[in-house]
Structure 1
Amino acid sequence: MVELKQQTMCGIKSPAKRKGHGFTRKCASLVKEQRARIYILRRCATILLCWYIHGDE
């Protein structure tokens, strides 16, 4: 019984918390990657649009 209390106090349950943080980090990483992709697509669209508009002159 004493061993069980020591195990829970020593951080046996911490991997569950780390798993939650790992999921949060993974989601944050995916969001950051998607934001970067959207930024690049937006820049490309802007460049192509400007090229199209200024190509007539």
Structure 2
Amino acid sequence: MAEVKLLQKNITESPAKKKRHGFTRKCASLVQEQRARIYVLRRCATMLLCWYIQGDD
């Protein structure tokens, strides 16, 4: 019985709510991707800087 109510609730959601939820999910995905890219760039820059500093010896 609870499953039927849950399914009915999902069906009765307005399209605007679904669209906003999709927009939020897409923004969150883009933010996560950018954070990952910044993390990789930071690690690469740190590694290159360490190599540069050690090369001065």
Q: Aligned in 2, Cα 1:11/1:46: closer, same or farther, shift over 3 Å?
A: same
What displacement does 1:12 show? 5.7
DSSP 3-state at the match of 2:49: helix
Structure 1 unaligned residues grouped into runs of 5+? 1-9
Q: What is the TM-score normalised by the length of structure 1?
A: 0.75
Superposition CA RMSD, Å? 1.3
Structure 2 unaligned residues grouped into runs of 5+? 1-10
Alignment coverage as a number of residue pairs: 47
Structure showing greater Rg? 1
Which residue matches 2:31? 31
> Identity of counterpart residues, as a percentage?
77
Q: Aligned in 2, Cα 1:35/1:55: closer, same or farther, shift over 3 Å?
A: same
